[in-house]
Amino acid sequence: MGSNEGADLGARAARRLAETGLYELEPGLTDAEFTRIERDYDFAFADDHRAFLAAGLPVNVPPEDGQTWSRPWPEWRGGDTESVRRQLDWPVEGVLLSVEHNGYWYEGWGRRPADGTAALDKARRHLADVPVLVPVYAHRYLPAGRGSFGHPVLSMWQTDVISYGSDLADYIHQEFDEARGEVEESWNPRATAPFWRDLL
């Protein structure tokens, strides 16, 4: 039953994006393409994220001046693998930047080594075990994991992490729907991914 719910959620998110008319959508990713992507980058899409990309693959438009990401939609089909890899590495690299330059230290890692290089090495070892986050759009991420769905979308900027949608469909509404209105005070998505939820 769960995978159907995840597929429905992803399809609903794809419909919402299509209805905005903001982006061209190519045909969705095929099973063979999902297999290649998951093998090449060593993760599995969550069910809703997979269904979203299977319904239609958003195409990047030329960036506006000053836009942080020139290609905010990950180019899973035929894109530059280095660019996709950088987007996949962004959350972990952001935490490492905060460890190196801002004195950040996660209490679950134990005592911070006094030596900066040793601290970075220790942080890197711990971060190798945290859940993989998969880019949805620019620095907005969903946790990886087949058989999972309904996670809040997280906006990642070093250790500044906020929820940007209670799930993928809500995220599309929050990010792209000009008619969205004000967020209700009761809106309080609960992040699900260990470690990352502690940065909220």
Side by side, the strands of the sheet bearing 133-137 are 133-137, 140-143, 153-157, 160-165
User: Hunting for tokens 């993928």 — which residue is that?
Assistant: 168
Rounded mean pLDDT, 190-196: 84
pLDDT, one tens digit per residue, over 103-158 is: 999 999 999 999 999 999 999 999 999 999 999 999 999 999 999 999 999 999 99
* Residue 137 bridge partners (DSSP): 140
Q: What is the pTM of this model?
A: 0.91
- d(CA 104, CA 101) in angstroms, rounded, equals 8
pLDDT, one tens digit per residue, over 151-188 is: 999 999 999 999 989 999 999 999 998 765 565 666 56
pLDDT at 61: 80
pLDDT at 5 over 60: yes
Rounded mean pLDDT, 6-31: 95
pLDDT at 62: 76
- d(CA 129, CA 109) in angstroms, rounded, equals 12
pLDDT at 1: 43
Distant-in-sequence, close-in-space partners of 52: CB < 8 Å, separation ≥ 6? 10, 11, 13, 14, 168
Distant-in-sequence, close-in-space partners of 141: CB < 8 Å, separation ≥ 6? 91, 133, 134, 135, 153, 154, 155, 156
Q: What DSSP element (H or E) covers 154?
A: strand 153-157
